Structure 1
C-alpha cells in the first residue's frame, strides 16, 4: 500500500526518472517484478500530456504552471526527447519538443545580448525574461543554479546524436571556458553578459556542466582538464556532489544512449563478420573475425580525431587501450559504420 505524500511534478526530475527507467529496461529487462518498460512509457506519456504545453511543444517546469510564459532552459533535454520519441514510437512529437528547446535557448541568448552560452535561469518562450519568478535569484535573469545544468543537457544530445544545434551551443560553452582562462576559473554564476556573481568559491554544479560540454571539443587535453578539475573540486553541498557524479557518468562514457544498438555489450556486425569484446573495456579490446584478410582498424576520439590505426590480417586482433583516458571512442573497420566503445 502506498501513501501519497505530495502532489504535482517538476519536469526536470520526471525527465531524468523516465530516462533512468529506459536504461533499466534495456539493461535488466522488464519481465521481473518491476516492469521498467511499462513504467517508462507511462511516465513519458504523462510528461507529454501534462508537462509539454499543448500546441506549442514548450516544456513546462511542472504540470500545473509555466509554458510559453515561463520555462527553465536547464530543464530542456533534447537528447532525452529524441530517446523518448524512438522508445515510445512517437518520434515526430518529441523531435518537435527537441527543436523547440533549441529555439528557446537561441532566442534567450539573442534577445538578452548574452555572452557565450550564458542563458538565464528562467525565460519566456521568446527568450525574454518571465515575470512569474519574482522569487528566484535576480528574478531569473542570471546564469545561476537553475541554468547551470544546461551545458550538460546539451552535451548529452551531442554525445548521443551529434548535430549542429548541439555542437553550436557546446562550442559556446568551450569558448567561455577558454575566455575565463580554463576550468579552474569557472565560478558559480554569471550575469548573461559574463560578470561573475561570486568569486569566493567554486562549485562542481557549474564546472562539471562545462566539462561535459568539452566532450564536443577537438582537443583531448581540454576535455581531460575539465575532467580533472571536476574530479578534484571539493563541495559539501548535496546538489553539487550529486551533479558531480552525473557529470562524471557522462565524461566516463557511462551515461550512454540506452536505445543505441552500439553502446554496451558485445557488438556483432554480420555483414562484416566480426565481433568485439569486452565493452566497456579496461585494457585490451579483442576483435574476432570469421574470415582472414587484411583489414584497416581505426580508433577515433568522440571528436573524430584518429588515435590508433592498424592494418591486420588475422582472425583475432587485440587492441591495447590501456593508455587511453576513460571515455567514449569509436571503432571503425574498413571505413564502415563507427561502433561506440567505452573505455573505463
Structure 2
C-alpha cells in the first residue's frame, strides 16, 4: 500500500478537511511546525484554487493541459505570443495530479487527459518527448522559438509522473503507465543526455551532432537528482547513475569555484567539455543567464528532494550554504528574498521581492536541517499567506509543488 492510498479519495470540492498524509522523509529532516491538519487543509485549498485557474480541458477530445495564461498575466520564458502551454507546465501538472490523487476524485481522468495532450504534441525528435510550446489554436509554436523541440525539464517531470501513476493506479487499465514511462525515459537518454559528457542537455535541439554552441550546456533547474535516481532503479540502466554522478560533480565544481561564500548557482552552466563555468548574460534567455535567476530558483527544491527522499549527503551539503546565505542576507525574513542574485550575493538590478518562485523552493531546502526550523516555519507562513492573485502561473505552480513537498507528500515511484 502506498502513501497515497492510505487516505480516502475525496471529491475535491466536497471538503478541505482531510486526514494528514504521513510521508516520512529520511531521519533528521523536518516539516513546518504548524499543526499537520492545518497544513494539509491549506495545501488542499491552494490545490483547488490552482486547478480552477490553470487546469483546462480542451485542444482535442479527451485532452487537458495547464493554461499558463489562465490568470490573464503575461507569459515569459522565451515563449511565442499567444502561448497556451509549455511542456514544463505539463510536467508540473501531471506531478501535482498524481501526488494529490487521494484528495481529488478526478485526478486519474485528468492525468490521462494530460497524457493524451502530450501525445498529441510530440517533439520532432521523438514521439515519446513533448513539443515544448503550443499556442492559440492548439498548434505547436513556430520555428522562431523552436516550438516542436523538446525541453529536458518537462520531459523529466512527465516521465517521473508516469512512474508515479504506475505506482498509484497500476498499469493494467486502459493506459500502461509503466510502458509510457519506459519509452519516455529511453527517449530522454537518446535525445536529451549528451552521450559522452553524460550531462543533461537543455533540450533535444542542443544535444545534436552538428550543434556546438549549446551542446555542452546544462540548466540548473533541471538537476532533478531524485528523478535520475528513480529512473536508474526503474530501468536498471547504468547511464542514469552516470548522469546523476555527473550532475553532482558539476554542482560541486560550480558552487566551490564561483560561489564559495553563497552557494548560489547560475541559471546555465556552459563549457561542460572543458572547464565548466556560469554562462554570460544574454547567453540564451536573458540578463540573468549566469546568475541565480528564474531558472536557478528551482534548484533548492529539486536538489533538496534527493536528501529528503534518499538521504544523499551531497544534496544536503549543496543546499546548506545557499540556505545560510538567504537566512543571513534577509535577516531570517523570507519576504525579503529578492528575485535574483549575482553569484557573489548582490541582488540583480531593480529586483522584486517575495516572489513565490524564489521563496517556496527554499522552504524545501530548509527541511534538510533541524537548525532551519524557524526559517522553514516563516517560509511556510509567507507561502500560505500569499494570495494566488499576487502571482503568475510560474510562481503559483512552484508554490503548489513546494507545498506538496513541505507537507511530506512527495512520492518515490
Task: Summarize deviations over 1:271-317 as a string: whole Å, max 9, x none.
Answer: xxxxxxxxxxxxxxxxxxxxxxxxxxxxxxxxxxxxxxxxxxxxxxx
| Equivalent of residue 189 in structure 2, options 48, 54, 58 | 48
**Corresponding residue for 1:226?**
379
| Equivalent of residue 401 in structure 2, options 246, 252, 269 | 246
Change (3 A) 1:203 1:40: same
**Corresponding residue for 2:367?**
215
How far apart are residue 61 of structure 1 and its match? 0.6
Distance (whole Å) between structure 1 residues aligned to residue 301 and residue 266 of structure 2: 15
Q: Which moved more, 1:134-143 or 1:167-176?
A: 134-143
Change (3 A) 1:179 1:49: same
Change (3 A) 1:171 1:195: same
**Corresponding residue for 1:129?**
278
- Give unpaired runs (5+ residues) of structure 1: 259-344
Change (3 A) 1:207 1:139: closer
Distance (whole Å) between structure 1 residues aligned to residue 151 and residue 121 of structure 2: 19
**Corresponding residue for 1:175?**
324
Corresponding position: 1:88 with 2:235: yes
**Corresponding residue for 1:111?**
257
Q: How many residues get paired?
A: 257
Q: TM-score, normalised by structure 1?
A: 0.70
Q: Which has the higher strand share?
A: 1
Corresponding position: 1:189 with 2:340: yes
| Equivalent of residue 206 in structure 1, options 358, 382, 403 | 358
Task: Summarize deviations over 1:121-142 as a string: whole Å, max 9, x none.
Answer: 1112243134695342226111
**8 Å contact from structure 1 (residues 160, 257) kept in 2:** yes
Distance (whole Å) between structure 2 residues aligned to residue 41 and residue 132 of structure 1: 37
Corresponding position: 1:75 with 2:216: no
- Give unpaired runs (5+ residues) of structure 2: 1-59, 61-119, 123-138, 141-147, 208-213
* Greater RCO (Cα-Cα under 8 Å, separation 6 or more): 2
Q: Which moved more, 1:109-118 or 1:214-223?
A: 109-118
Corresponding position: 1:151 with 2:300: yes
How far apart are residue 225 of structure 1 and its match? 2.1
How far apart are residue 205 of structure 1 and its match? 0.5
Change (3 A) 1:222 1:200: closer
Distance (whole Å) between structure 1 residues aligned to residue 149 and residue 183 of structure 2: 16
Distance (whole Å) between structure 1 residues aligned to residue 405 and residue 259 of structure 2: 30
Distance (whole Å) between structure 1 residues aligned to residue 386 and residue 168 of structure 2: 32
RMSD between aligned alpha carbons?
A: 2.1
Distance (whole Å) between structure 1 residues aligned to residue 305 and residue 352 of structure 2: 30
**Corresponding residue for 1:165?**
314
Distance (whole Å) between structure 2 residues aligned to residue 36 and residue 231 of structure 1: 33
Change (3 A) 1:188 1:200: closer
**Corresponding residue for 1:39?**
180
3-state DSSP of counterpart to 1:123: strand
- The within-5 A match list for 1:183-332 is 183-197=334-348, 198-219=350-371, 220-234=373-387, 235-258=390-413
